[in-house]
């Protein structure tokens, strides 16, 4: 006898397998909760007890090669995707062989080789990443699907909306599942939304949406299979809401006193395991003896795994700083082709480099608002859509989290995305995805995220406080991000080549005032400049001036003026903020014994602050004068010309600083 659903049929063996997974999941989560409450487990637990039908049903509906993006309460869904009890317990115990190698605990892990994305605390952060995986599948024309899962509370976030809208617009092969367990921590669903069902929101995105009984594993499986098949055959996204209930509190410390006794009793009568067990017994698929046998086998399996995990090694303390970045292979040749090349502005050099790399490597693609038809806000990507097509130059909705998250997911699937910001100031809308997903993936999961986030930054064009920021100082605070600030057409090309080929997330900041203000011969061919290497823009022996981006030219002009005073100033162009070429700085500072740092970014807790502190700490006895910093005031960037000119460091400011340190 078979149980038939809307899109599938399950054999007796498949039904029993679903039942065993549900029992395994509940037993494991109950053991973990008890261990946590008794003080035998560190970190946190987020039990999904009561939600096993949705977890197992949707997780089992996916096929090999498909990808799951889940949340902290999706441990059982990970088991359904093939993650082992041992892998889960290793992570909960912080063991070095666990999926996150002791760098994160509890259910905050993924096993990408088994199709589960890394779980992080902010929800629903896996939604944009799963969407990026689906984007990669569509670009490649492969028969794979992504499924993103969250609770109903997460649907109140901007990233959820951005993902739903962007996936619908791009018609991606993805299924969205919302397990409506009635409470977002303690907030009931009628305080989260003014509609009856989450699935009602699907109409706003132009995609199908429906609600299923989340405590019926077969209903969830069949609904998942139908939506997955629709996505796999080009039908685009579907939103499924599974009505279920969380038997315990949000986490191990939550007694869920906000749940009324009547609510708990009503859902208790619909317990997913008890319902399914009764159903299978009535069908003759199970009997009481087999039920007892399953419980005993599961209990023994978990206990054996817990005993085994207890003896596994912990991480070594000396490894605490390891694996922030994926290893970067050395370039095959630093320069090849025409060593001089034709004259180019910086904007043209960047545009030409994008085209060269897209022609060389079919994995490279561009996405962002207005990047295709308009060619970007500054027309850097103009002409690329005509040459490479709409699957490799993608216009997206306005969606900071969606764009950055999509780049992360596509990179995880082997693509080389280049996401464009219309203005660097807009990076903050995608900062969560950048620092919690892109920057942490290799450190936590050992998986490289080769992506570039590029766009115009900097002041000087009378754009006011919202289109003039230089965010490199803020970004440099987050481990795992490489930050590049080119100062000329030549290094714009070489650094961009390196950024695209790097296996790590790179933020590439293009100063808008340099786009069309400097023209020089740009080397043709493969003129890659390794990241983390500063250049001597001007040699000197009396003082070292460190600068980057547009401030390099301010420093160079100051050095020319000072030459008339018999002062030979060495100007160091950092090129990369992270990695920082401290060896080049140390060599120059040791030679000149004097240091001036010039930056356009705000001064407090900045790149200049870090360089000055490190110079004072490591090179104190080599310095003949205090370190000088030439920076703007700690205020917002003004619009009026007279105010912006007063705000920005000028040539005269650098000249005065060098005179001060050389007079000491």
Q: Which two tokens stand for residue 629?
A: 């910093």
**What digits encode the pLDDT tens for the residues 437-473?**
999 999 999 999 999 999 999 999 999 999 999 999 9
Which helix (H) or strand (E) segment holds residue 57: the answer is helix 52-61
**What digits encode the pLDDT tens for the residues 512-558?**
999 999 999 999 999 999 999 999 999 999 999 999 999 999 999 99
* Sheet strands side by side (includes 452-457): 393-395, 364-368, 416-420, 452-457, 506-511, 482-484, 576-578
Beta strands 174-180 and 183-184 are unpaired
Query: The dihedral of CA 46, 213, 85, 160: what is its sign?
Result: negative
The mean-pLDDT minimum among 7-21, 135-149, 235-249, 491-505 falls in 7-21
* Confidence check: pLDDT of 46 > 70: yes
Find tokens 């600068």 and name the residue: 547
CA atoms within 13 A on the CB side of 206: 10
- How far is 84 from 93, CA to CA, in rounded Å? 14
* Confidence check: pLDDT of 334 > 80: no
Residues paired with 69 in a beta bridge: 148
Domain with CATH 3.40.50.920 in the chain: 536-663
Beta strands 595-598 and 628-630 are parallel
Burial (0-12, 13-18, 19+ Cβ within 10 Å), 582: middle
Mean pLDDT of all residues in 231-241 = 98
pLDDT computed for residue 181 by the predictor:
96
Mean pLDDT of all residues in 344-370 = 98
- State phi, psi for 129 to the nearest 5 degrees: -65, -45
Domain topology for 3-311? Rossmann fold (3.40.50)
Q: Per-residue confidence at 664, pLDDT binned at 50, 70, 90?
A: confident
Mean pLDDT of all residues in 324-344 = 76
Q: Is the bond preceding residue 123 a cis peptide, omega within 30 degrees?
A: no
pLDDT computed for residue 331 by the predictor:
78
Closest to 577 in 3D by CA, of 604, 611, 537: 611
* Confidence check: pLDDT of 332 > 90: no
Q: Does domain 343-521 have CATH number 1.10.3720.10?
A: no
* Confidence check: pLDDT of 9 > 90: no
Q: DSSP 3-state assignment of 87? A: helix
pTM above 0.95, yes or no: yes
Burial (0-12, 13-18, 19+ Cβ within 10 Å), 396: buried
pLDDT computed for residue 609 by the predictor:
98
- Report helix angle 12-37 to 288-310, nearest 10: 50
**What digits encode the pLDDT tens for the residues 156-175?**
999 999 999 999 999 999 99
User: 648's torsion region: left (phi>0), alpha (psi -120 to 50) or beta?
Assistant: beta
Q: DSSP 3-state assignment of 183? A: strand
Quick one: what percent of the chain has pLDDT higher than 90?
96
* Confidence check: pLDDT of 661 > 90: yes
pLDDT computed for residue 6 by the predictor:
42
Query: The dihedral of CA 473, 474, 480, 483: what is its sign?
Result: negative
**What value does the mean pLDDT of the chain take?**
96
The residues, ordered by sequence, that sit 6+ positions from 201 with a Cβ below 8 Å of its Cβ are 155, 164, 195, 209, 239
Q: Which two tokens stand for residue 554?
A: 């301010």
Quick one: what percent of the chain has pLDDT higher than 70?
97
The residues, ordered by sequence, that sit 6+ positions from 531 with a Cβ below 8 Å of its Cβ are 328, 482, 484, 495, 498, 499, 502, 506, 575, 576, 579
- How far is 584 from 536, CA to CA, in rounded Å? 9
Closest to 454 in 3D by CA, of 487, 409, 486: 486
The mean-pLDDT minimum among 294-298, 330-334, 381-385, 564-568 falls in 330-334
pLDDT computed for residue 470 by the predictor:
97
Closest to 493 in 3D by CA, of 322, 331, 391, 349: 349
pLDDT computed for residue 420 by the predictor:
98
Q: Which two tokens stand for residue 400?
A: 């900071």
Find tokens 């059982």 and name the residue: 76
User: What separation, in Å, do the N-terminal and C-terminal C-alpha atoms of the chain show?
Assistant: 93
pLDDT computed for residue 486 by the predictor:
98
DSSP letter, residue 93: T
* Confidence check: pLDDT of 424 > 70: yes
Domain with CATH 3.40.50.970 in the chain: 3-311, 343-521
Burial (0-12, 13-18, 19+ Cβ within 10 Å), 472: buried
- Please check whether residue 17 is in contact with residue 25, taking contact to mean a CB–CB distance below 8 angstroms: no
CATH of domain 536-663: 3.40.50.920
Find tokens 């995986």 and name the residue: 133
pLDDT computed for residue 5 by the predictor:
44
Q: Per-residue confidence at 339, pLDDT binned at 50, 70, 90?
A: low
What's 520-557 look like in SS3? EECCCCCCCCCCCCCEEEECCCCEEEEECCCHHHHHHH
- Please check whether residue 174 is in contact with residue 231, taking contact to mean a CB–CB distance below 8 angstroms: yes
């Amino acid at each position: 006898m078979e149980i038939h659903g809307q899109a599938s049929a399950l054999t007796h063996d498949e039904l029993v397998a679903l039942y065993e997974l549900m029992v395994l999941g509940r037993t494991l989560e109950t053991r973990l909760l008890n261990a946590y409450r008794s003080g035998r487990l560190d970190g946190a637990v987020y039990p999904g007890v009561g939600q096993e039908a949705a977890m197992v049903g949707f997780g089992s509906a996916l096929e090999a090669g498909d990808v799951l993006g889940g949340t902290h309460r999706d441990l059982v869904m990970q088991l359904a995707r093939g993650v082992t009890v041992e892998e889960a317990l290793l992570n909960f115990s912080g063991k070095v062989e666990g999926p996150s190698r002791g760098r994160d605990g509890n259910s905050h892990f993924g096993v990408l080789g088994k199709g589960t994305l890394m779980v992080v605390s902010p929800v629903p952060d896996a939604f944009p990443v799963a969407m990026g995986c689906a984007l990669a599948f569509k670009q490649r024309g492969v028969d794979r699907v992504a499924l993103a899962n969250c609770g109903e509370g997460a649907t109140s976030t901007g990233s959820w909306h951005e993902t739903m809208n962007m996936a619908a617009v791009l018609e991606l092969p993805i299924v969205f599942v919302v397990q409506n367990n009635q409470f977002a921590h303690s907030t009931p669903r009628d305080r989260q939304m003014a509609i009856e069902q989450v699935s009602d929101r699907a109409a706003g995105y132009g995609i199908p949406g429906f609600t299923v009984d989340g405590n019926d594993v077969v209903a969830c499986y069949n609904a998942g299979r139908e939506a997955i098949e629709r996505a796999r055959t080009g039908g685009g996204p579907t939103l499924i809401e599974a009505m279920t209930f969380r038997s315990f509190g949000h986490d191990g410390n939550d007694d869920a006193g906000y749940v009324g006794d009547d609510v708990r009793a009503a859902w208790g009568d619909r317990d997913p395991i008890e319902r399914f067990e009764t159903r299978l017994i009535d069908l003759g698929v199970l009997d009481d003896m087999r039920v007892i046998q399953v419980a005993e086998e599961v209990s023994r399996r978990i206990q054996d795994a817990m005993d085994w995990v207890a003896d596994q090694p912990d991480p070594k303390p000396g490894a605490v700083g390891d694996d922030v970045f994926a290893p970067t292979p050395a370039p095959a040749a630093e320069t090849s082709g025409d060593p001089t090349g034709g004259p180019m502005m910086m904007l043209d050099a960047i545009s030409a480099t994008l085209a060269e790399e897209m022609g060389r490597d079919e994995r490279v693609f561009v996405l962002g608002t207005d990047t295709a038809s308009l060619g970007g806000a500054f027309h850097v990507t103009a002409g690329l859509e005509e040459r490479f097509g709409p699957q490799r130059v993608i216009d997206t909705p306005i969606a900071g989290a969606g764009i950055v998250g999509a780049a992360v997911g596509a990179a995880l699937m082997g693509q080389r995305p280049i996401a464009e910001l219309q203005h660097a100031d807009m990076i903050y809308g995608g900062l969560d995805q950048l620092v919690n997903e892109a920057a942490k993936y290799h450190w936590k999961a050992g998986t490289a995220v080769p992506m570039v986030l590029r766009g115009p930054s900097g002041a000087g064009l009378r754009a006011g406080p919202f289109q003039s920021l230089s965010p490199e100082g803020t970004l440099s605070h987050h481990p795992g991000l490489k930050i590049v600030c080119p100062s000329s057409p030549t290094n714009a090309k070489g650094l961009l080549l390196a950024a695209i080929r790097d296996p790590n997330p790179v933020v590439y900041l293009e100063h808008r005032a340099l786009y069309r203000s400097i023209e020089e011969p740009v080397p043709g061919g493969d003129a890659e400049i390794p990241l983390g290497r500063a250049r001597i823009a001007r040699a000197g022996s009396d003082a070292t001036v460190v600068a980057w981006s547009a401030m390099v030219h301010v420093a160079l002009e100051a050095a020319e003026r000072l030459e008339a005073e018999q002062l030979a100033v060495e100007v160091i162009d950092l090129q990369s903020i992270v990695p920082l070429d401290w060896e080049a700085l140390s060599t120059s500072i040791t030679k000149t014994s004097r240091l001036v740092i010039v930056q356009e970014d705000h001064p407090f807790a900045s790149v200049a602050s870090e360089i000055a502190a490190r110079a004072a700490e490591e090179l104190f006895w080599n310095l003949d004068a205090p370190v000088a910093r030439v920076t703007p005031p700690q205020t917002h960037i003004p619009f009026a010309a007279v105010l912006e000119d007063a705000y920005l460091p000028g040539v005269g400011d650098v000249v005065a600083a060098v005179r001060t340190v050389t007079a000491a």
